[in-house]
Amino acid sequence: MFILNKTIGEFSFKELKEMVKDISLTEIISNDEFTKFIDLLLNDSRKNFNDLGKKFLRDIDKYKKEQDRVSNMYSFDKSHGNYNIIAGVDEVGRGPLAGPIVSCAVVLDLNVDITDIILGIKDSKALSKEKREELSEIIKEKALSYSIAMCDNLEIDEKGIGVCNNKVFIEACKGLKHKPEFILSDGYPIRGIDIKNTGVVKGDTKSASIACASIVAKVFRDNLMEEYHNKYPMYYFNENAGYGTVKHVEAIKKHGPCEIHRLSFLKNIL
């Protein structure tokens, strides 16, 4: 609980910043004492104190807007019907020249209080590597269940990327500990599954469950491709995650494909 132990005029600016540096926005918003404290900052005669008060207001506004954005994503998931368990499923790695296609399915508690929703979730490609990894751990901790499935490059060459994409969607959803009554899948409906589902265009920007699945899948696959980089450093998998960057294509032309390359994707290169 934030409580001033002396009047604000007795603090130096350095002391004040040190005192508040570790206070979370959640605590700030929920604490009436901190609201009074911000008012004191805004009415103080010292400019740096005023600026600190204004910064708190900006941070609070940004935090509440993020709460609203993510809360709408949770509401989107619930809007599809009166289901107790809804899963979101997404894939990563449909387009690379090497490595597997990876899917993740996630079941969230969609009825949590707004203070317990997972802030920051969105299309995994729009997040920094550090933020994705942080969120992936939070998602795995807070999700009711999650499941990962993948098809390797050999299966992709044999069956085609479209078949494998649908297959990993099914396997990820079937692997959930909490069997979903309804599934939201990114992009298109899942074929050949005995669970009601619907495709959501740009689902990782609209659905909380799909966004979470997108993040966990990408972190899993990126980490896997970094492991492959240790075995095949000449292809720079730690930089390109198997996608067809200039350096990657040049490496394929120079060294030929390795055991995780999708040969069906290399016809215009080799």
Specify if 265 maps to a domain.
no
Query: Are residues 196 and 69 located together in one domain of the fold?
Result: no
Q: What is the pLDDT of residues 79-101, one digit of tens each?
A: 999 999 999 999 999 999 999 99
Specify if 175 maps to a domain.
yes
210 and 186 Cβ atoms separated by less than 8 Å: yes
pLDDT at 46: 87
* Across 47-51, average pLDDT: 87
By residue range, what is the domain housing residue 12? 8-78
Query: Are residues 90 and 217 located together in one domain of the fold?
Result: yes
Specify if 246 maps to a domain.
no
Q: What is the spatial distance between Cα 98 and Cα 263, in angstroms, rounded to a whole number? A: 9
Q: Which of 78, 102, 130 is the last residue of a domain?
A: 78
Q: What is the spatial distance between Cα 67 and Cα 247, in angstroms, rounded to a whole number? A: 40
Specify if 201 maps to a domain.
yes
Site of tokens 């954005």? 69
Specify if 234 maps to a domain.
no
Q: Is 134 annotated to bind ligand?
A: no
Query: Are residues 180 and 95 located together in one domain of the fold?
Result: yes
How far is the CA of 65 from the CAs of 58, 72, 78, 209, 269, in angstroms? 11, 11, 20, 19, 47
pTM value? 0.90
Q: With 0-12 CB in 10 A as exposed, 13-18 as middle and 19+ as buried, what is 169?
A: buried
49 and 8 Cβ atoms separated by less than 8 Å: yes
Query: Are residues 193 and 145 located together in one domain of the fold?
Result: yes
Specify if 231 maps to a domain.
no
Q: What is the pLDDT of residues 212-236, one digit of tens each?
A: 999 999 999 999 999 999 999 999 9
Burial 241-270 (b: 16+ CB within 10 A, else e): bbbbeeebbebbeeeebbebbbeebbeeee
Half-sphere exposure of 87 (CA within 13 A, CB side): 31
The radius of gyration of the chain from alpha carbons, rounded to an integer in Å, stands at 24
Q: What is the pLDDT of residues 52-61, one digit of tens each?
A: 888 888 988 9
Q: What residues contact residue 264 under an 8 Å CB cut-off, 6+ apart?
A: 156, 157, 160
Q: What is the pLDDT of residues 113-136, one digit of tens each?
A: 998 999 999 999 999 999 999 999
Query: Are residues 64 and 14 located together in one domain of the fold?
Result: yes
Q: What residues contact residue 179 under an 8 Å CB cut-off, 6+ apart?
A: 85, 195
Q: Which of 54, 78, 102 is the last residue of a domain?
A: 78
pLDDT at 235: 98
pLDDT at 2: 54
Query: Are residues 70 and 97 located together in one domain of the fold?
Result: no
Q: Is 59 annotated to bind ligand?
A: no
* Across 27-54, average pLDDT: 82
Specify if 267 maps to a domain.
no
Using the predicted structure, report yes or no on whether residue 5 has a pLDDT greater than 80.
no
182-186 and 86-92 strand pairing: parallel
Q: What is the pLDDT of residues 128-178, one digit of tens each?
A: 999 999 999 999 999 999 999 999 999 999 999 999 999 999 999 999 999
* Across 184-204, average pLDDT: 96
* Residue predicted with more confidence, 13 or 108: 108
Q: What is the spatial distance between Cα 131 and Cα 120, in angstroms, rounded to a whole number? A: 8
Using the predicted structure, report yes or no on whether residue 11 has a pLDDT greater than 90.
no
Tally the domains of the chain: 2
- What percent of the chain stands above pLDDT 70? 98
Query: Are residues 93 and 195 located together in one domain of the fold?
Result: yes
Q: What is the pLDDT of residues 58-71, one digit of tens each?
A: 988 999 999 999 99
Q: Is 186 annotated to bind ligand?
A: yes
pLDDT at 24: 76
Query: Are residues 104 and 191 located together in one domain of the fold?
Result: yes
Confidence at 4, pLDDT banded by 50, 70, 90? low
Using the predicted structure, report yes or no on whether residue 184 has a pLDDT greater than 80.
yes
Confidence at 1, pLDDT banded by 50, 70, 90? very low
> Which stretches does DSSP call E strand in the chain?
86-92, 101-107, 145-151, 182-186, 196-200
Q: Which of 53, 78, 103 is the last residue of a domain?
A: 78
Specify if 241 maps to a domain.
no
Query: Are residues 100 and 162 located together in one domain of the fold?
Result: yes
Query: Are residues 96 and 203 located together in one domain of the fold?
Result: yes
Confidence at 3, pLDDT banded by 50, 70, 90? low
Using the predicted structure, report yes or no on whether residue 245 has a pLDDT greater than 90.
yes
Query: Are residues 146 and 216 located together in one domain of the fold?
Result: yes
Query: Are residues 49 and 99 located together in one domain of the fold?
Result: no
139 and 215 Cβ atoms separated by less than 8 Å: yes
* CATH code, 188: 3.30.420.10
